[in-house]
Homo-oligomer: A and B are copies of this chain.
Amino acid sequence: MKKRILLTPGPTPLPERVRAALSRAVLHHRSAEFRKLFGEVGRGMRYALRTENDVLTLTATGTGAMESAVANLLSPGEKALVHSVGAFGERFVAILEAYGLKPVVVREEWGRSADPAKLRSALKTNPDVKAVFFQHVETSTGVVNDVKKLAREAREHSTAIVVVDAVSGLAGDPLRTDSWHVDVVLAASQKGLMNAPGLAFASVSKRAWRRAERAGLPRFYFDWRKARMALAAGETPFTPGVALLAAQAEALRMIRSEGIEKVWARTAKLAAAARSRAQALRLPLFADNPANILTALRLPEGVDGVKLLADICKQDGISIAGGQGPLKGKIIRLAHMGHIGEADLEAGFKALAKRLRRSNARRSSI
């Protein structure tokens, strides 16, 4: 039995302490004990998000949080803008369309980050946009966006609510919700937050609340107003994922005790190590502005990425992510977020090196 190593951008491995918390006895969600735990998770999330805003907890994964932002901030017929740099940007587009809206979409070539000048120009043409959606880190391409600059453009050239999907980037790449004036930040438990998947979070600014109070799209399970009302009593409107919350409290304790800026710095160091290992293998970076939480690398022409990763998974017990959509088989993505450490990354690169050498030898012998 090989030790299994996860280098996938979520689910990520869990620290022992978090796994222990996950399996501790389940508690009832209408109890003082639960309210204490839930309060601690809320404080920890505000700390990790660098915000004083309400942080709502949803029992769902990241896409549920993304949908909640659409359903709570918009009314039928209203205009929204997505600045899309990859598969998760397209997910915002698909959600908006599922709700009958026709979003304005600014698209970048995959591998490039969002250009603030393009956002500005789109807002000038569409001053009536009610919400702007973009990613912090676009997990499909390994790009980190300049959230601070994009949020500033949105603020200066519209009254739109700024919604940032930080599902993969939170507690990895720097993000300062309040000082960067981001209205809504979406997050999920299974990445930098070092928990199993099944919880999602949304931080909501006062400005965003004013929209959420009167937005007309249908919602119930994801209704932020219900979540806020229950939060005032220290609870959730529906049965929450209590075991996941106990584990989340433990992971947030670890993040607080290390310090969020140190978590960012540690992740940046891992990213630098990954980039230098990639350079040694002559694998070019796919992203123009690479994120700290994962490294996307272009494979040499002629290498079948799907087979490469399947072999590594099967024979070395190491899960590395491939490309999504049009990038399938062409890029690989190694995560270095949360509890993933230098040794895991080294094992991943060694497995890659071994197989790429073989495939090089095979190709040069043809």
Interface, chain A (partner B; CB < 8 A): 4, 6, 8, 10-14, 19-20, 22-32, 59-64, 67, 94-95, 98-100, 188, 190, 196-199, 217-223, 238-244, 313-314, 319, 321
Which residues of chain B are within 8 angstroms of A241 by Cβ–Cβ distance? 61, 196-198, 241, 244
Contact A63–B313 (Cβ < 8 Å) = no
Which residues of chain B are within 8 angstroms of A95 by Cβ–Cβ distance? 220
Give the 6 A-B CB pairs with smallest separation, nearest first. Answer: A23-B23, A196-B243, A198-B241, A19-B23, A63-B238, A98-B220
Known: A98-B218, A100-B218. A13 touches B31 (CB 8 A): no
Contact B23–A4 (Cβ < 8 Å) = no
Most buried by B among A63, A64, A239: A239
29 residue pairs of the A-B complex, CB under 8 angstroms, read: A6-B28, A14-B25, A19-B24, A19-B25, A22-B22, A22-B23, A26-B190, A28-B319, A30-B321, A31-B313, A32-B314, A59-B59, A59-B61, A59-B64, A59-B197, A61-B240, A61-B241, A64-B221, A67-B220, A67-B221, A94-B220, A99-B218, A99-B220, A100-B218, A196-B241, A196-B244, A198-B241, A198-B244, A243-B244
Which residues of chain B are within 8 angstroms of A63 by Cβ–Cβ distance? 220-221, 238-239
| Known A11-B29, A198-B198; 11 more pairs at CB < 8 Å | A11-B239, A14-B26, A22-B23, A23-B23, A26-B190, A31-B313, A60-B221, A63-B238, A67-B220, A67-B221, A94-B220
**For the complex, would chain A's binding face be called helix, strand, loop or mixed by DSSP majority?**
loop
Which residues of chain B are within 8 angstroms of A61 by Cβ–Cβ distance? 59, 238-241
In the docked arrangement, what's the CA distance between A218 and B96, Å? 10
Contact A197–B240 (Cβ < 8 Å) = yes
- A241 — nearest CB in chain B belongs to which residue? B198
Contact of A28 among B11, B27, B59, B238 (CB under 8 A): B11
Which residues of chain B are within 8 angstroms of A188 by Cβ–Cβ distance? 239
Number of copies: 2
Contact B28–A243 (Cβ < 8 Å) = no
Known: A63-B220, A238-B61. A243 touches B29 (CB 8 A): no
Q: How many Å from the CB of A135 to the closest CB on chain B? A: 16
- A313 — nearest CB in chain B belongs to which residue? B31
Contact of A27 among B11, B60, B244 (CB under 8 A): B11
Contact A60–B62 (Cβ < 8 Å) = no
- A3 — nearest CB in chain B belongs to which residue? B25
In the docked arrangement, what's the CA distance between A61 and B12, Å? 22
Which residues of chain B are within 8 angstroms of A23 by Cβ–Cβ distance? 19-20, 22-23
Known: A241-B61, A241-B197. A6 touches B20 (CB 8 A): no
In the docked arrangement, what's the CA distance between A59 and B244, Å? 12
